Amino acid sequence: MATTLISSSSSIPFLKHQPLSRRRFPYPLFLHRTNTLCPSITATATTDSAAVSVHHHDDQTNHKIVLPTNQSSETLLRIRHTCAHVMAMAVQKLYPEAKVTIGPWIENGFYYDFDIEALTDKDLKRVKKEMDRIISRNLPLVREEVSRDEALRRITALNEPYKMEILEGIKEEPITIYHIGEEWWDLCAGPHVESTGNINKKAVELESVAGAYWRGDERKPMLQRIYGTAWENEEQLKAYLHFKEEAKRRDHRRLGQDLDLFSIQDDAGGGLVFWHPKGAIVRHIIEDLWKKIHMEHGYDLLYTPHVAKADLWKISGHLDFYKENMYDQMSIEDELYQLRPMNCPYHILLYKRKLHSYRDFPIRVAELGTVYRYELSGSLHGLFRVRGFTQDDAHIFCLDDQIKDEIRGVLDLTEEILQQFGFDKYEVNLSTRPEKAVGDDDIWEKATSALRDALDDKGWTYQIDEGGGAFYGPKIDLKIEDALGRKWQCSTIQVDFNLPQRFDITYVDSNTEKKRPIMIHRAVLGSLERFFGVLIENYAGDFPLWLSPIQARVLPVTDAQLEYCKDVTKKLKRNGIRAEVCHGERLPKLIRNAEKQKIPLMAVVGAKEVETETVTVRSRFGGELGTISVDDLISRIKLGTQNPTSL
């Protein structure tokens, strides 16, 4: 995997050796900056199969550590899985009353859930010491196969109710068990290392403990989940911990609160996002850009209802195959209605409102449509996993021989939008027909070939997931890479042979015969909420100037300059610049507050600036940048931002 080393230096000179009155204002004005990490480390990582690369750099060294993943190293996967078992064994040695549940390996380590009294950081230290003792004993891990009755007998003898429930869900026989030495065992299919001595105890760390509902269901018991991380050696662990600290600094949940961007209010319910004024400005800019580019690419914009009769979801198949993700029906005047989990049926209804000719195609419609999906409370996570969100949904109705050109057009549009936000590295997957599918072989082959050819024409590298497509059509998935090298699923292009058939949509061909069109679902950003969370973490809250909710803050040295500052702010706003005036504190504190709130530019006004009708501009990264007229500031911001929206 290619690794990008991100510069930690600012692109704006400090100009600190010139007297303020003689400083020249840099051009362009602090517009193109790199994402910066902590000085001691620059890291890139992926959440999937590719390795993680971490660069340590200081005055003496500059070397790269390539961190393996569960997908790239089965050894690492086995270590992590075994660590989960070792931890469970340690917990039950220290706390015999603890009941065990499940303990899988996860992306960067492992966890195990216990039914036990609340644990503390002090408890974690005790557990880690006991794990170290178990590892040092070099106990073998032995796989055993038993009958269901024998497994039931053993679990009953141990009084492990959660394991009993797990056993009930296992349909196959024999039942597999893994032993650690002769002292502890667990229901498990593996794989594991051969013995605990294969684990480097200095490359293992217990990270945290959190509450987690059994099966993720808030109606079930609250358990204690211990998270740990495990690596092949100490150097990998150290690099990962550096990377983790940087990711923590960028956590969108913390930055969303610190920068007053969004919140989730307990009184309203989990997974329901409140966009604060500053966050709403960023969303408005994103939506404006999205609409502008879509209209340029020949899409018609739509707005459709948030609810529909339950019968619509019966026709679409959602009630049969997606009901567990939908909210309960509501009765209105003796008819049942339901919140929409998807936008597709609405767009189909609009297509069906009139008869179409083959000459009408392609038909492209797009909507920023809010949908509602039930998620277990235990799975909710900031903006990344919510219950109500806005999809940038679009559908294309076209003829068979138009599929390739339409897919290529979607790829171009996707690239155009994502590059506006600085995303130019993608991981692309093409998923083909599964064993069970609707639609005949010919149309599947034609559609799959069209997707493959469009990707080839685009020149993008992609992986083929044989049999990984949905039952109703092949698809392309695109993941973007952020400043830390993490991959995020955003864009999807999905051919659909199912809904056109369910809704019986047709067109009249050149022989005046009714035929069924091809339907393509596609989303570029996926979810506005999730994409906003990715943006926050990618930029670490330091949005580029064109995307910043507040582009400039005007600061008076004393209240004597306040009226002039208000006039400057009004003039900036009249020229489409997002500005505000802030006063009431000493200037150094005003500047610190602006920097803390990640305001890109500060226009400082003292008596001399009032007299000369100027402002002295400070950049959050570049320090003092010079004294210029307000008109000059406006023109330079406008020219430099290259704002792709109409704002």
Q: What is the pTM of this model?
A: 0.80
Residue 192 is a catalytic residue:
no
* Residues 535 and 486 placed together within one structural domain of the fold: yes
- Reading the block at residue 361, the tokens are 């195609």
**Assigned domain for 57 exists:** no
d(CA 91, CA 123): 9
Q: Does the pLDDT value for residue 45 go beyond 60?
A: no
Q: Does the pLDDT value for residue 109 go beyond 70?
A: yes
**Assigned domain for 43 exists:** no
**Assigned domain for 183 exists:** yes
**Assigned domain for 320 exists:** no
pLDDT at 189: 92
> What is the length of the chain?
647
**Assigned domain for 508 exists:** yes
User: Using 50, 70 and 90 to split pLDDT, how confident is the model at 37?
Assistant: very low
Range of the domain at 518: 262-304+343-539
- Reading the block at residue 341, the tokens are 């989990």
User: Using 50, 70 and 90 to split pLDDT, how confident is the model at 441?
Assistant: confident
pLDDT at 292: 97
* Residues 491 and 604 placed together within one structural domain of the fold: no
pLDDT at 64: 64
Mean pLDDT over all residues of the chain? 88
The CATH number of the domain holding residue 194 is: 3.30.980.10
* Residues 355 and 466 placed together within one structural domain of the fold: yes
* Residues 518 and 551 placed together within one structural domain of the fold: no
User: Using 50, 70 and 90 to split pLDDT, how confident is the model at 59?
Assistant: very low
> Average pLDDT, stretch 136-149?
96
Residue 393 is a catalytic residue:
yes
Which residue in the list 278, 408, 475, 598 is annotated as catalytic?
Answer: 475
Which residue in the list 80, 113, 201, 344 is annotated as catalytic?
Answer: 344
User: Using 50, 70 and 90 to split pLDDT, how confident is the model at 216?
Assistant: confident
pLDDT at 62: 47
* Residues 602 and 519 placed together within one structural domain of the fold: no
* Residues 551 and 634 placed together within one structural domain of the fold: yes
* Residues 484 and 557 placed together within one structural domain of the fold: no
How would DSSP label each residue in 494-512?
A: EEESSHHHHTT--EE-TTS
* Residues 283 and 393 placed together within one structural domain of the fold: yes
In 3D space, the residue among 279, 272, 273, 274 whose CA is nearest the CA of residue 255 turns out to be 279
Looking at 539, 566, 595, the residue that finishes a domain is 539
User: Using 50, 70 and 90 to split pLDDT, how confident is the model at 129?
Assistant: very high
The CATH number of the domain holding residue 436 is: 3.30.930.10
Please give the C-alpha separations between residue 123 and each of 91, 94, 206, 407, in angstroms, as whole numbers: 9, 9, 11, 55
How would DSSP label each residue in 293-336?
A: HHHHTTPEE----SEEEHHHHHHHTHHHHSGGGSPPPEEETTEE
Looking at 512, 539, 566, the residue that finishes a domain is 539
pLDDT at 647: 32
* Residues 515 and 441 placed together within one structural domain of the fold: yes
Q: Does the pLDDT value for residue 68 go beyond 70?
A: yes
The pLDDT tens digits for 526-554 are 999 999 999 999 999 999 999 999 999 99
Residue 92 is a catalytic residue:
no
HSE-CB of 471 using CA atoms within 13 angstroms: 8
pLDDT at 29: 37
The CATH number of the domain holding residue 576 is: 3.40.50.800
Q: Which segment of 17-26, 434-443, 528-537, 552-561 scores lowest on mean pLDDT?
A: 17-26
Beta partners for residue 637, in sequence order = none
Residue 521 is a catalytic residue:
yes
Percentage of the chain with pLDDT > 90? 79
Count CB atoms within 10 A of the CB of residue 640. Answer: 17
Largest separation between any pair of C-alpha atoms in the chain:
91
- Most confident range, picked from 19-28, 347-356, 480-489, 618-627: 347-356
> Average pLDDT, stretch 606-633?
92
Q: Does the pLDDT value for residue 286 go beyond 90?
A: yes
Q: Which segment of 215-224, 440-449, 501-510, 619-628 scores lowest on mean pLDDT?
A: 619-628
pLDDT at 26: 33
**Assigned domain for 241 exists:** no
Which residue in the list 347, 521, 578, 620 is annotated as catalytic?
Answer: 521
**Assigned domain for 143 exists:** yes
Which residue in the list 373, 385, 530, 578 is annotated as catalytic?
Answer: 373
**Assigned domain for 188 exists:** yes
* Residues 571 and 582 placed together within one structural domain of the fold: yes
Strand locations in 385-509 (E) = 388-398, 426-431, 462-465, 475-481, 487-496, 507-508
Q: Does the pLDDT value for residue 28 go beyond 50?
A: no
> Average pLDDT, stretch 279-290?
98
Neighbour-count burial of 147, counting CB atoms closer than 10 A to its CB (0-12 exposed, 13-18 middle, 19+ buried): exposed
Residue 257 is a catalytic residue:
no
Contact (CB, 8 A) for 618 and 10: no
Which residue in the list 23, 364, 395, 522 is annotated as catalytic?
Answer: 395
User: Using 50, 70 and 90 to split pLDDT, how confident is the model at 635?
Assistant: very high
Which residue in the list 113, 186, 392, 393 is annotated as catalytic?
Answer: 393
* Residues 113 and 194 placed together within one structural domain of the fold: yes
User: Using 50, 70 and 90 to split pLDDT, how confident is the model at 563?
Assistant: very high
Strand locations in 373-444 (E) = 388-398, 426-431
pLDDT at 621: 75
* Residues 535 and 546 placed together within one structural domain of the fold: no
The pLDDT tens digits for 496-532 are 999 999 999 999 999 999 999 999 999 999 999 999 9
Looking at 539, 554, 572, the residue that finishes a domain is 539
Contact (CB, 8 A) for 261 and 536: yes
Which residue in the list 391, 402, 551, 561 is annotated as catalytic?
Answer: 391
- Looking at the structure of the chain, the number of domains it has is 3
